[in-house]
Structure formats: structure tokens, C-alpha cells
Amino acid sequence: MITWNEKDIEDYLFDNPWIFKFGYGDYPFKWVARQYSLPSGKLDLLGKTDSEIFFVVEIKNVTPDSSAIAQVCRYATDIEQILYAANPYDADIKKIIKYIVYPQSKWDKIQNNVIFEANAMNVHMVGFSVGINIEMPVVVQSEASLM
């Protein structure tokens, strides 16, 4: 079994932002910060679309629990307060979408109350899986090389 640590997953998502479009086809999408220090901790990834939709992403390499949901919600609140402080006269309330990215293999270990809590707090829980694709090179020999 292949396992990635949280930094590996963060690096992969950061290097491949196109992979992070969960029904919000609002592009271009870009990451604007990683390991961003907030009053309540370090946010793994912060993304944004051109229409000001923000993505607050917390990566877990373990089964998500209530504390992970609370963590991503605190980060989203911090971002909301920072955006408001930067422009308190902006009438538009910025949309902040919260995600927890976790190993797909942990899905069956997530307790039902955690799923209900995530839904109630509007936190999207997204599983990932790691795979390796090995292709053997095809060696073609000409008849001349066989003689």
C-alpha cells in the first residue's frame, strides 16, 4: 500500500490546481496561499477564482473527525474576517467554500455524526487515492537484429 503524507498531498494539489474543480467550473482557479498563518492555526491551502470564490482546504492523512471540521471552519472564519478588514465597505459577501481532503481508504471509518456535522457546517469532505501506473516499454526488434 502506498501512503502519502499531508505535505505530499498538498504539493500535488498545489502543482495541479485544475484537479480541484468540484462543480464550480468558475475558472481560472489559482492557489493564493499555502501554509498560511491565521489566528487559529496554519491553513494548508487557500484558493480563489476570478469571481472571488475562495476555497479553504485542510488536508488530513487520517480519518477526519469533529476536530478537523471545527479546524476548517475556524480557518474559514479567519479568512472571512481578513477579507472584511481589508475592505469593510465591500457590499459583496465573499463566498468561502470549506474542504477537508482525506484518504479515500478512510471513508468507511468516518463516523456518521462526523458526516452529519460536516453537512451541517457546509464542509465538503473529499477523498483522494494514490495509485501508480507502470507501463513496460515495448521493445521492437527488427529481423536484421535477430540474425
Q: Is residue 71 packed enough to be buried (19+ CB in 10 Å), middle (13-18) or exposed (0-12)?
A: buried
Strand ordering across the sheet containing 123-128: 29-38, 41-49, 53-59, 95-103, 123-128
Conformation bin of residue 101: beta by default, left when phi > 0, alpha when psi is -120 to 50: beta
How much is the pTM? 0.80
pLDDT tens sequence across 40-90: 999 999 988 877 888 899 999 889 999 999 999 999 999 999 988 888 776
pLDDT tens sequence across 96-107: 888 888 888 888
Hey, what domains does the chain have and what are their CATH numbers?
6-146 (3.40.1350.10)
Q: What are phi and psi of 59, to 5 degrees?
A: -105, 135
